[in-house]
Structures are given as C-alpha cells and as structure tokens.
Amino acid sequence: MGESKLPFFAFVDETGNTGHNVFDEVQPDFLTAALISRGNFDKQYDSRVLAIATKLGHSALHGKELGVQRIESIAGDLLALLKASKATFFVSRVEKKYLLVTKMFDSIFDSGENAGISWHHYNMRPLRLLLTFKLAYLIEEETARNFWKCILEPKENQAREGLVKVCRALLKNLAVLPDEGSRKTLGNALVWARDHPEAIQIHVDRKIARQGNFPNLVAFTNLLRGLEGLSKRFKRPVARITHDQQSEFEKTLKTYHDILSTASDDEIRWAGETYTFQAVKGSTFETKEDNLSVGIQVADVILWLYHQHHKERHLPLGCQSLLQYVFSNGWEADFSFAGVEAGYVQNYLPILEAPVAPETLARGQELVRQFEEARLSSMAQYEVDGLPPFMRQAASSIPAQEDPRA
C-alpha cells in the first residue's frame, strides 16, 4: 500500500488526571497530546525510537524521567524523526475551573429545561459564552464544590436539593455583575431553577454518564472530533487510536469511542452552526502500556514539553524547535478562560463592534421581543402542564428555531 493510501493512527498520552477531584491546586489543568501518523508509527519507527532512547541509557522515552537537558540532547534526533514520519499532533489543555463553570451553565441554564431563560441566551454561541463568563464571577469556592457534588450525586433527591442550594448561593452574589442585562437574565433563570429543580436534569443514574463530566472525557471527545476533521481534510480514514493504559476510565473512553464512531453522519443546522455527531467511523480503540508503544512515548515527551510551556518555563532551543514543529503541524485545543476568551475576541468581536444597519437592528429587537414573550409563555405553561420546554410539541411561540429534543 502506497504512503498516500495509509490510514491515520493516533497515539495518546495524558497528564493531570485527578478523577472527580477537579479542585486539586497542584494539577489545575488536564493535558493531552496525541501523535498522529500515516500508517502505524509503532511498527514503522520502533527501532528508531529505541535507538534514540539507548543513546541516553534508557529502554524507553518518558519526558518526566528525562527532564529538559536530556530531551535537549536528543531534540535533533526527535525532530528528524517527526519530519521523516510526517507526524501530526493534537495537544489539548482543559482548565478544570473553566470546565466546572461550563458544566454549571449547561446544567442550570439550558433553555430546553429552564423555562426562565430565553432560547437565544442559551443557544446562540456568542451569548452563551458571554453569560458563562459572567456566571464565573458569581461562583465562590464552596458553591463550586457543592455544584460538583451535585452532578456526581447518585441519589436524585439529594442532587436536586444540592441544585437549590447552588442557585441560592449564586443569587446572593448577583449584585457583583456590573450590567443590569446580565443580572436580569441570569437572575430570572436562577430563580426559576431554584423554584423548579424537578425540571432540571441535574441527575444521571449511571456512573459512566457521570464520568462524562470529567476533564479527560472532554479532552478525549475533542480529540475524536479533531481526528474526524483531519480525516476529512486529507481524505484518509482513522484506523486505530492507541491510548496510554489507565484503569479507572478505560471503559468510559471505549464507550465514548463506540458511541461517536457509530453515530449518524447526518448534519444538523442549529442556531447558525452545523453539527455532526459521528467521528472516526470504522476506527478501533485500544489501551497499551507506554513501554510497549513508541508512539505513546514520543507523545509523552511532547506532552511534558507542552506542560512546561504552559507553566512558562524556559526551554532551550532544541526543545523549542520540537514544540514549534508540533504547533505548526497539528492543532491545539485550549479549553480555558484564556483560550476561550482569545477565540471569542477573534471570532466575534469584529462582528459585535461592526456598525448595525437600522433595519437589521429593528429585526433583532423584534426577535428579542418574541423570545421574551416565548419565555413568559413557557413559564406560565409549565404551571399548567408541568412539562419543561423540550417535552412540549413544536413550540410555536419560539420563533425561527425549534428545540431539537421536542
């Protein structure tokens, strides 16, 4: 099979996995690196990586064990290997505090469940991101911990009691927001969730679903979607994903891979964006000890350097060259306050600062008026039928869009 026909293979390593303890101050981030090769990197470059490790008196490469100076001594060899293999990389940071805020916003302010928030505030991405950042200002340490207990709570009644407690705490801090619009939008939704916790799907009864809230599952899902984009761009399939072996989440990772790789490939247009649930169709997933995979070992070295980069540690020229290759031949997913803010400024600020034609402004104001009418109608209807918005039939009061779960 010619090189142009070879499928992609991905070799994944991670660090910062604290499981359900997202409040570990020593490890505030969860980091992932994946080496992506055309053809099986392990089979093609096993002897070459072993030769590089042997130079240092090792039988395998591990970034933490090697440290900066020894990595620097083999940086030229590694860079030549990456260029020869035409390796592509995925590197990812999930800031655990930012993840918690996004989970809180999705849990409490989903307009399909919370009748107290308008459709556009949750479903329009620019507004959702803006309100998520505003919500962050209301969250104190105790509230964050109570919310995290809430979404991991196996007993439904206790989860809902916890939700009420969280909403009350957030409402007490509402005055810290400087603008009346955000105070009103978030306040209305928090009051409704506090008074109607039974409508908010805060509780899940399966452990594997609760684990989906953890940083490593967020990073893994981002990786699968990134691999799908790479596969489509180069018109070659993903054959296998080999993940560093770890017992606690192995079953959950495999389940997520199975769900996404067998999902429908239908495109869904929603609130101005296009979504496809399927990713890496036809691929297989396995876990392997890093000593048995040179692909994971190289990913481990890159991940260690990436970690030093995010800690703003000085790196010598060879190590810098390795990271420069990674950033030039791959993609980075920075799921953090700083990363999302930078993306927001780049993608939306030019639109928000652009002049608005009077007729466009009038249409927008009319839509906002309709959304507010729909919100008030939905709250009133809930008192009659006890059904959250997504359970009602084609809500004609919601203009332009209909919740896909209806």
238-244 vs 284-288, strand pairing mode = parallel
**Angle between helical axes of 125-136 and 96-108 (0-180°, round to 10):** 110
229 shares a domain with 83: yes
Q: What's the pLDDT band for 247 if we cut at 50, 70, 90? A: low
Task: Select from 134, 136, 100, 104 the least CA-distant residue to 28.
Answer: 100
DSSP for 189-207 reads HHHHHHH-GGGS------H
pLDDT number for residue 209? 52
Residues 356 and 100 sit within 8 Å (Cβ to Cβ): no
228 shares a domain with 189: no
Q: In this structure, is residue 205 part of a structural domain?
A: no
Q: In this structure, is residue 324 part of a structural domain?
A: yes
Q: Which of 325, 344, 363 marks a domain boundary? A: 344
Q: How far is CA 279 from CA 64, 72, 223, 403, in A?
A: 32, 36, 10, 23
252 shares a domain with 133: no
- Identify each DSSP E strand in 251-329 by its residue range: 267-270, 273-276, 284-288
Q: In this structure, is residue 400 part of a structural domain?
A: no
pLDDT in tens, 45-100: 999 999 999 999 999 999 999 999 999 999 999 999 999 999 999 999 999 999 99
For the cut 80, the answer to whether the pLDDT of residue 182 exceeds it is yes
340 shares a domain with 368: no
Q: From the centroid of its chain, how far is CA 212? A: 11
Q: What is the CATH number of the domain that holds 328?
A: 3.30.420
For the cut 60, the answer to whether the pLDDT of residue 405 exceeds it is no
318 shares a domain with 172: no
Q: Which of 289, 313, 344 marks a domain boundary? A: 344
Cα angle for residues 143, 386, 187 (degrees, 5° grid)? 35
- How far is 250 from 90, CA to CA, in rounded Å? 20
337 shares a domain with 359: no
* Domain tally, the chain: 2
Q: What's the pLDDT band for 1 if we cut at 50, 70, 90? A: very low
pLDDT number for residue 140? 97
Residues 263 and 278 sit within 8 Å (Cβ to Cβ): yes
137 shares a domain with 263: no
The rounded radius of gyration (Å) of the Cα atoms in the chain is: 24
- Per the structure, the complete domain to which residue 121 belongs is given by 111-199+355-391
339 shares a domain with 240: yes
Q: Please, what is the average pLDDT of the chain?
A: 91
For the cut 80, the answer to whether the pLDDT of residue 317 exceeds it is yes
Average pLDDT over residues 16-23: 84
pLDDT number for residue 217? 87
Whole-prediction pTM: 0.89
For the cut 80, the answer to whether the pLDDT of residue 325 exceeds it is yes
pLDDT in tens, 216-240: 888 899 999 999 999 999 999 999 9
318 shares a domain with 359: no
pLDDT in tens, 89-101: 999 999 999 999 9
330 shares a domain with 255: yes
